[in-house]
């Protein structure tokens, strides 16, 4: 199933505390951004990559793309204040696509096996997102005191990629912009329209590089994969 992918890469990465875009930090021998891009460069089903970038980082990112031989990037539109705005600026530039994947540029360990299942499910059903089952006991807490132990069986930790039929995510993103609705992921925008979103079981390795400890996990995953 062919698809194009939107990679929001315009965050400030405050929680990483690196003093620069965390996507430029190295894991083993290359920047996180290049690890993520390489997955899609190597996937024959991926027909185009859209990168949302900060305007002041565009030239540097273009230099990285050239240095690492990345050939599939179709556009680098300016990102926005929130991740949702960054994704939307890419969607506005896309045309004649059936399936769109939205994937955090900060999740470099996504595998083609999961991508295929997401794209196929989105093609058949409209919307499919990656997630893993909650491993820990989950409780609700108010002012430091437990108010409820939540049934873990129905709880999933949601990741990206999130895959959609193009017309569906375009409508959902346009409506959200029009009414000023801000979601924490793209699926929320589609859920708002009353459309079913399906879950595809992903991997615990598909972590988002968010804080400094995540870089340690990242190095360990890469070392394990190259063994």
- The mark string for 95-134 relative to ligand C5P (x by CB under 6 A, - otherwise) is ---------xxx----------------------------
- The mark string for 140-179 relative to ligand C5P (x by CB under 6 A, - otherwise) is ----------------------------------------
Choice from 58, 208, 217, 222 touching ligand C5P (CB under 6 A) = 208
Choice from 3, 4, 8, 206 touching ligand C5P (CB under 6 A) = 8
Q: What are the DSSP E strand ranges found in 72-223?
A: 73-75, 99-102, 127-133, 138-142, 145-150, 156-165, 198-201
Please, which residue, 43 or 214, has the CB nearer to ligand C5P? 214
Least distance to ligand C5P, CB of residue 10, Å: 4
CA distance 85 to 92: 10
218 binds ligand C5P (CB under 6 A): no
The DSSP call for residue 111 is -
Please, which residue, 13 or 126, has the CB nearer to ligand C5P? 13
Question: Phi then psi for 54, rounded to 5 degrees?
Answer: -75, 135
CA distance 132 to 204: 7
Closest CA to 214 of 106, 53, 105: 106
């Amino acid at each position: 199933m062919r698809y194009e992918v939107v990679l929001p890469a315009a965050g400030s990465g405050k929680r990483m505390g690196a003093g620069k875009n965390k996507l430029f930090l190295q894991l083993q021998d290359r920047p996180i951004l290049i690890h993520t891009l390489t997955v899609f460069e190597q996937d024959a089903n991926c027909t185009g990559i859209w990168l949302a970038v900060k305007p002041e980082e565009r030239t540097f990112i273009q230099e990285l793309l050239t240095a690492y031989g990345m050939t599939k990037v179709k556009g680098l539109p300016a990102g926005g204040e929130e991740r949702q705005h960054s994704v939307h600026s890419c969607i506005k530039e896309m045309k004649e696509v059936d399936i769109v994947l939205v994937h955090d540029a900060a999740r470099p360990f996504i595998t083609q096996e999961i991508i295929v299942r997401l794209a196929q499910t989105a093609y058949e059903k409209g919307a499919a997102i990656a997630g893993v089952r909650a491993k820990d006991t989950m409780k609700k807490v108010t002012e430091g005191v437990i108010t409820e132990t939540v049934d873990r069986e129905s709880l999933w930790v949601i990741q990206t990629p999130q895959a959609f039929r193009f017309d569906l995510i375009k409508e959902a993103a346009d409506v959200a912009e029009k009414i000023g609705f801000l979601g924490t992921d793209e699926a929320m925008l589609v859920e708002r329209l009353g459309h079913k979103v399906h879950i595809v079981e992903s991997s615990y390795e598909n972590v988002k590089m968010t804080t400094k400890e995540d870089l340690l996990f990242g190095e360990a995953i890469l070392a394990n994969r190259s063994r």
